[in-house]
């Protein structure tokens, strides 16, 4: 029998629906777990137990009155501290915005609550969701990085504080922390999940993402948050689940920085691909022409947009801005509007080219270049995440590998833009073939850890 903190969101919904659990019972267990682990883990920017229990009680009363049949009945949710919340401050990891109260919910937070989700508070984020590390520890090993910038959300899900949590991705801020912390992380196709009421760092890269401990939970949140209906005719025509082909062609992509990946990561993914080939997947190596250009254009878009959106903070409160961000703002200030517009145009061209030329069902690659690095401030090795963010493609990290130190390494599955359901379906088949598991990390405050539970 699973303990309550080990339950997935899907299992919690079913248990509450049939009356085996209440939202308050679930909340109390997880509140106690957070109280025990948080002093060492530091996953939360704002956590208010009384407020959590009151929100769970409102869900229970609505269920008892027959007025609540939402998709997320009583599910605890962590919210990265870049999403507006009407009852919590939204500080965006910045001392400049400490205790800022937006007074409204971001649209995705509203949707989560509307469907019965219980917001547990705000998880730690890098400063303005960029690169500056947080105090959050990796629950698989406190001495290793949890990844930036959605560090708090990934860590909270990994150690059973909440079953799901919102993150975001402009470069690799969902996929990489998911890989480091040994959970599922999903970045949907650009534009499928609304960004209203969410910190904006760029116009053409920012994407809402989330973390969970099962593919079913990833899909549950996707169904809850994605746009749909008559106001979105393109989405209604194109974001659909197609009949599944028994032969799935996977394109294995090493990327331009393959040599920088750790030897154990390269060996681990090769073994996974060999197992998939034996089990009926058609695996072939693919290349993406001009991939290096994508990194360069991504940098132009990112730095220029940051310098525009945060020029006020830099002018008025520069002493409160990290050196990492200040350097990006400085670089962005020297990029001309013409160079920025050219990069955005190039992004659109390359996105369309990928749509026209990709001839596999999905791309598979490393989620990160290796295990979580030792040290909270150790820079990440280069990986492929920026490519898929730049091209607006859906990507999912699944925890199916381990490295030399026993820490998780994710396999990333990337699909054609708007093929989000295909990515989830293919991931489910791969997950079954690999026969992996996503075990809750159970650290105690003295530094004893569970294993990563991957092949």
Catalytic residues: 80, 149, 173
- Cα–chain center distance at 437: 18
Give DSSP secondary structure letters for 436-448: ---PPP---TTS-
401/52 Cα distance (integer angstroms): 35
Angle at 390 between CA 386 and CA 391, to 5 degrees: 120
Across 213-345, the runs of DSSP E, i.e. the strands, are 249-252, 282-285
Helix, strand, or coil here: 333?
Answer: helix
Q: Distances from the Cα of 438 to the Cαs of 150, 235, 241, in angstroms?
A: 19, 31, 25
132/126 Cα distance (integer angstroms): 5
340/149 Cα distance (integer angstroms): 24
Task: Give the contacts of 81 (CB within 8 A, at least 6 positions apart).
Answer: 45, 46, 90, 91, 92, 93, 122, 123, 124, 125, 152
170: nearest Cα among 109, 82, 255: 82
């Amino acid at each position: 029998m699973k303990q309550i903190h080990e339950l997935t969101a899907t299992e919690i919904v079913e248990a509450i629906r049939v009356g085996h659990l209440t939202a308050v019972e679930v909340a109390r267990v997880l509140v106690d777990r957070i109280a025990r682990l948080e002093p060492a883990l530091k996953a939360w920017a704002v956590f208010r137990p009384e407020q959590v229990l009151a929100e769970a009680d409102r869900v229970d009363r609505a269920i008892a009155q027959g007025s609540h049949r939402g998709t997320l009945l009583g599910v605890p949710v962590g919210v990265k501290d870049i999403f507006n919340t009407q009852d919590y401050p939204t500080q965006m990891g910045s001392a400049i915005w400490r205790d800022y109260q937006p007074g409204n919910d971001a649209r995705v937070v509203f949707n989560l609550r509307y469907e019965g989700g219980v917001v547990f508070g705000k998880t730690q984020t890098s400063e303005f969701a960029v690169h500056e590390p947080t105090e959050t520890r990796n629950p698989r090993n406190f001495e290793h990085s949890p990844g930036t910038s959605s560090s708090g959300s990934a860590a909270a899900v990994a150690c059973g504080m909440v079953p799901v949590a919102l993150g975001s991705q402009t470069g690799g801020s969902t996929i990489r922390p998911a890989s480091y912390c040994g959970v599922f992380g999903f970045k949907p196709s650009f534009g499928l999940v609304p960004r209203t009421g969410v910190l904006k760092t760029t116009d053409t890269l920012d994407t809402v993402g989330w973390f969970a401990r099962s593919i079913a939970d990833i899909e549950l949140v996707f169904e809850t948050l994605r746009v749909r209906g008559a106001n979105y005719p393109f989405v209604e025509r194109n974001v659909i689940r197609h009949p599944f082909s028994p032969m799935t062609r996977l394109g294995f992509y090493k990327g331009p920085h393959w040599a920088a990946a750790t030897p154990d990561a390269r060996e681990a993914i090769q073994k996974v691909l060999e197992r998939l080939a034996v089990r009926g997947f058609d695996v072939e190596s693919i290349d993406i022409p001009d991939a290096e250009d994508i990194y360069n254009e991504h940098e132009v878009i990112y730095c220029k947009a940051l310098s525009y959106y945060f020029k006020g903070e830099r002018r008025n409160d520069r002493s409160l801005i990290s050196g990492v961000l200040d350097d990006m703002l400085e670089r962005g200030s020297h990029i001309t509007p013409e160079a920025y517009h050219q990069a955005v145009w190039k992004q659109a061209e390359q996105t369309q080219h990928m749509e026209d030329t990709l001839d596999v069902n999905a791309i598979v690659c490393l989620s990160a270049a290796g295990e979580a690095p030792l040290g909270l401030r150790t820079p990440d090795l280069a990986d492929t995440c920026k490519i898929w963010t730049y091209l607006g493609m859906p990507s999912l990290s699944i925890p199916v590998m381990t490295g030399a130190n026993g820490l998780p390494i994710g396999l990333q599955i990337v699909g054609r833009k708007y093929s989000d359901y295909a990515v989830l379906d293919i991931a489910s088949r791969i997950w079954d073939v690999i026969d992996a598991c996503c075990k809750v990390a159970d650290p105690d405050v003295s530094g004893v850890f569970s294993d990563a539970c991957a092949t």
